Amino acid sequence: MASTLCSSFISSALIILLVHLSSSSNNLAAKHTYSASHHHRHHNRSPFPNPKLQKAYIALQAWKRVIYSDPRNFTSNWVGPEVCNYTGVFCAPPPYDKKIIVVAGIDLNGADIAGFLPDELGLLSDLALIHLNSNRFCGILPQTLSNLSLLFELDLSNNRFVGPFPYVVLSLPSLQFLDLRYNEFEGPLPPQLFTKSLDAIFVNNNRFSNVIPSNFVGSSASVVVFANNNFGGCLSPNISNFANTLEELLLTNTSLSGCLPPEVGYLYKLKVLDVSNNNFVGPIPYSIAGLAHLEQLNLAHNMMSGIVPMGVCILPKLENFTFSYNFFCEEEGICQNLTSHGIVFDDRRNCLPEKPNQRSQKECQAALEHPVDCFHYHCGGGSSGGVLGSSTAIPSAMMPAAAPLLSPSMAPGYV
């Protein structure tokens, strides 16, 4: 499955990088310990092999001072000048000078630490990756992070960060992978988020609201997970601005309404499309039949109606087609028996006369009497359309809060 592949790709790449960083750090740290103690014995010189590591020491000590709980003792060995030996700190030569080592990575995934990020983190100007998944860091991101010009992976997932979208991340020139999921960020997403050349954007499970801006020309992201936020509004035709790169679009539980625009079918690289648990109405756009790479299609828990078109059911890569809890009234051709085509499906709670576990005749009658005309449908309450327009859609009640994750790429963290 695409999302599994994608996240396992990211995690194995990380493991390789970290193993590389940690082995080079051990070798170099060993040499540097020697030279440091050597210097110390004979001359009263700085215990730091280079000024970068001295700055790192200042930064890490400042960080340790604003850590109020560290139940797994990640930072208890953060003492003394040997910063490359600190748990969770990885050193390597920076790209601009292969003869020195600097702090290149911080990995405190799963440390359950409570604390803040201090301004001094700006001194760690050679960081390539920061992984803080599953901690209790709170507050906002320091503006000094803009100093991290080499940072390409920033994972702040599953913490307690608050406030508006952290604009400082937009000033990081090397950033490729941005993971803000499972925090308490709120307010709108800025347009610049989609014009930056990011490969993966995870903003799911926050409190983002309002519109996603539509005034961007194209995005280079291959994975965008918007799920479990309260955006509201409609899916604008401008979603096609993602066409050249987007492989996974997860919009579950984002309070979207209106019809699915035919432009969804322009996202020709899509492997995963999940619009479940929203208030979408109207038919399945026939253009979805053009998504030749589509593996997972989830339309469940909406108010969609009409025919389930054969063109979708014969998509060559389709593995799982979930369209339960809608008002579909007919399955065309082989859509009636997807099992015989090796496709996992769920068609429960629709209005399919021949199938078991359908809605009552009364419910179905009511839906049939009010067919949706997508051409004339106006997105409730909104004038300024975003990629997700604006509206007054009611958040859909769905799974219990502790429901299992819908997709591996929505999971908080990957180690």
CB of 401 to ligand NAG, least distance (A): 5
Cβ atoms of 284 and 310 within 8 Å: the answer is no
Cβ atoms of 354 and 377 within 8 Å: the answer is no
CA distance 41 to 48: 14
Residues in 241-260 at the binding interface with ligand NAG, rule: CB under 6 A = 253
Cα 216 from chain centroid (whole Å): 19
Interface pattern 14-53 for ligand NAG (x via CB under 6 A): ------------x--xx--x--------------------
Residue from 157, 155, 106, 98 nearest 127 by CA: 106
CA distance 165 to 171: 13
Give the residue closest to ligand NAG by C-beta: 122
Number of residues engaging ligand NAG in binding (CB under 6 A): 38
CB of 212 to ligand NAG, least distance (A): 10
Is residue 144 a contact point for ligand NAG (CB under 6 A)? yes
Cβ atoms of 176 and 198 within 8 Å: the answer is yes
Q: What do you get for the CA distance between the two ends of the chain, in Å?
A: 18
Interface pattern 282-311 for ligand NAG (x via CB under 6 A): ----------------x-------------
Is residue 395 a contact point for ligand NAG (CB under 6 A)? yes
Q: Which one-letter amino acid corresponds to residue 187?
A: G
Q: Which one-letter amino acid corresponds to residue 247?
A: E
E strands of 33-128, at which residues? 67-69, 89-92, 102-107, 114-115
For ligand NAG, the binding residue among 73, 362, 373, 376 (CB under 6 A) is: 73
Residues in 110-129 at the binding interface with ligand NAG, rule: CB under 6 A = 122-123, 125
Q: Which residue number, 199 or 346, has a Cβ lying nearer to ligand NAG?
A: 346
CB of 345 to ligand NAG, least distance (A): 8
Cβ atoms of 143 and 171 within 8 Å: the answer is no
Residues engaged in binding ligand NAG (CB under 6 A): 26, 29-30, 33, 55, 72-73, 80, 82, 85, 122-123, 125, 144, 147, 214-215, 217, 228-230, 236, 238, 253, 298, 320, 322, 337, 339-340, 344, 385, 395, 398-399, 401, 403, 406
